[in-house]
Amino acid sequence: MIDIINNRLEQGYRTSSFPDGDPGLPERFRGRPLLKPELCSAGCAACAESCPTKAITPASAGGKKGALTLDTGKCLFCTECLAACPSGAVSFTKDHRLAASRRGDLLLSSNEARLAESLGEELRRLFGRSLKLRQVSAGGCGACEADLNVLNTVIYDLGRFGIQFVASPRHADGLIITGPVTRHMSEALKIAYAAIPEPRIVIASGACAISGGPYAGSEDQLGGASAVVPVDLFIPGCPPHPVTVLDGLLRLLGRIS
């Protein structure tokens, strides 16, 4: 027992200071994309052609000069576009703030962030200090699920914000969904949603849950959670970093702005 106590004292305080301090993201972290359309070459569509999920619409799409657009709801943050672009018109920052309240706010054509908005006053009163979420893996590969589990570790300590994952939808205030929603999981997702007492909230976490991700277009999936249930918060990423998820949740609850 003495050894355990000494070991704990040597480790010190491990919980992240986020959101009050630096989230401590690594140098290789890929956050919010940065678009520089003024660097686009006329007629060039190299970035769009390299994107595995068709998340990029080039400035020359349809033979017309328009805005370079990137859909973070489809983006896998794989950086294939960086390698393909000859002029550096697309890059990635270390900005972890990616979550949005509306699907359309994930479409970037400028570098102005449209971040998640807080719930209405009544829902903040109900959920602002205690939010219970049932996680549903609707055909996910396991990556998004793993990073949600990380939120329960001592580093992030999700419970300090009054947010918990629960085992039953009947004990939950909402759902947090991962995966592209396969046809086999669609009915289970509807049942889980119906089992949650009203009012309830729904969060789509990861590119698959938002748009189908790399599985978009397959006849075996429905293209994300919005095809089955209404979504209140979209958290991009493949998978979303735990800090990105936590930032979205706290913005939804009005804890940060």
Concatenated DSSP letters of 195-210:
HSPSS-EEEEESHHHH
Q: Are 199 and 121 in contact (CB under 8 A)?
A: no
Q: Are 165 and 148 in contact (CB under 8 A)?
A: yes
What is the extent of the structural domain holding 182? 121-252
The reported pLDDT for the residue numbered 64 is 47
Establish if 198 belongs to a structural domain: yes
Q: Are 59 and 37 in contact (CB under 8 A)?
A: yes
Give the burial class of 116: count Cβ atoms within 10 A of its Cβ; 0-12 exposed, 13-18 middle, 19 or more buried: buried
The reported pLDDT for the residue numbered 59 is 78
Tokens linked to 34: 């940065």
pLDDT tens digits along 18-42: 999 999 899 999 999 999 988 887 7
| Percent of the chain at pLDDT exceeding 70 | 97
Establish if 6 belongs to a structural domain: no
Q: Which residue has the higher pLDDT, 119 or 14?
A: 119
Establish if 10 belongs to a structural domain: no
The reported pLDDT for the residue numbered 215 is 95
Establish if 41 belongs to a structural domain: no
The reported pLDDT for the residue numbered 83 is 92
Strand 33-35, strand 90-92: pairing: antiparallel
Establish if 154 belongs to a structural domain: yes
Q: How many domains does the chain have?
A: 1
Establish if 38 belongs to a structural domain: no
| Percent of the chain at pLDDT exceeding 90 | 81
Establish if 65 belongs to a structural domain: no
The CATH number for 144's domain is 3.40.50.12280
pLDDT tens digits along 78-128: 999 999 999 999 999 999 999 999 999 999 987 778 999 999 999 999 999
Q: What is the mean pLDDT of residues 230-248?
A: 98
Establish if 199 belongs to a structural domain: yes
